[in-house]
Chain A
């Protein structure tokens, strides 16, 4: 007969209920998946873009002016001097041939020109090596 009042202590295992935690984790996961948006990488056509007055400045050097305007055929083209250029690659090539790029380039954009072409003209100047590109609204 057992006289001691001491009860045989049974090993107790502490069980953590995972259900509520998984609920919360799933909720958070679904929230983040649903709200996530993948941002497209953006860059800038740089800070050297200066706003110039429409008339421009008188300079002893002939400035490089790229116009985005309607060509003889009715479509929008890049005008470099009297030459009408219809592709950005050709414009970049032509601009690269200018020996002095220190004076910068001017991009004159008419109101009805597609903005896609305005950006292309600025990019062509930058790619050709002109450090300063001035945007001239027409």
Chain B
């Protein structure tokens, strides 16, 4: 009679199920929260203010960097080039300046000279709807 129990060798297999659950959960989270990068928004330090309205889509987003460079859709341009760009946008909406909304995203560390220049250029094109983007401070 055999008294000792024969122990079967078991492979130390890891249970993968909870890990796959978590990995899938994370994957779905990142897929849903990731938004396609908007190239018209440059990374910059905006003025920390609470603002007055939520952001809405605009016809044109003008980025003004700390050193005063004007950047539209990732391309640095001069004010005359900007005027041409705005002119194209105007043509697209049937030469009606009231249909154009411009958002200015300016770096708060810079001075106001470039903003003034851009605003004056827009004024000459009779564009009145100019918005200034601000960053809502974290509380």
Q: Could you list which residues of chain A lie within 8 angstroms of chain B, going by C-beta atoms?
A: 18, 22, 25-26, 28-29, 32-33, 35-37, 39-47, 49-53, 68, 109-116, 118-120, 122-123, 126-127, 135, 137-138
Contact residue among A45, A49, A53, A116 (Cβ-Cβ distance under 8 Å from B109): A116
Q: How distant is the Cα of A118 from the Cα of B117 in the complex, in angstroms? A: 14
B112 touches A118 (CB 8 A): yes
List 7 A–B pairs whose Cβ atoms lie within 8 Å, in order of A's numbering: A25-B24, A32-B27, A41-B136, A44-B51, A68-B112, A109-B116, A137-B115
Among residues of B, the one whose C-beta sits closest to the C-beta of A117 is B112
Please tell me if the beta carbons of A42 and B136 are within 8 angstroms of each other in the complex: yes
Say whether A114 contacts B108, CB under 8 Å: yes
Instruction: Evaluate contact between A43 and B47: CB separation under 8 angstroms.
Output: no
Main DSSP-derived SS at the B contact region: mixed
B103 within 8 A of A: yes
Residue count of chain B within 8 Å CB distance of chain A: 50
Residues of B within 8 A of A47 (CB): 53, 101, 129, 131
Q: A29-B27, A114-B109 are in contact. List 10 more A-B contacts (CB 8 A).
A: A26-B23, A36-B34, A41-B135, A42-B135, A43-B133, A43-B134, A43-B136, A51-B123, A119-B132, A135-B119
**What sequence of 0s and 1s flags, for each residue 62-91 of chain B, a beta carbon within 8 Å of any chain A beta carbon?**
001000000000000000000000000000
> Which B residues lie within 8 Å of A25 (CB)?
20, 23-24, 27
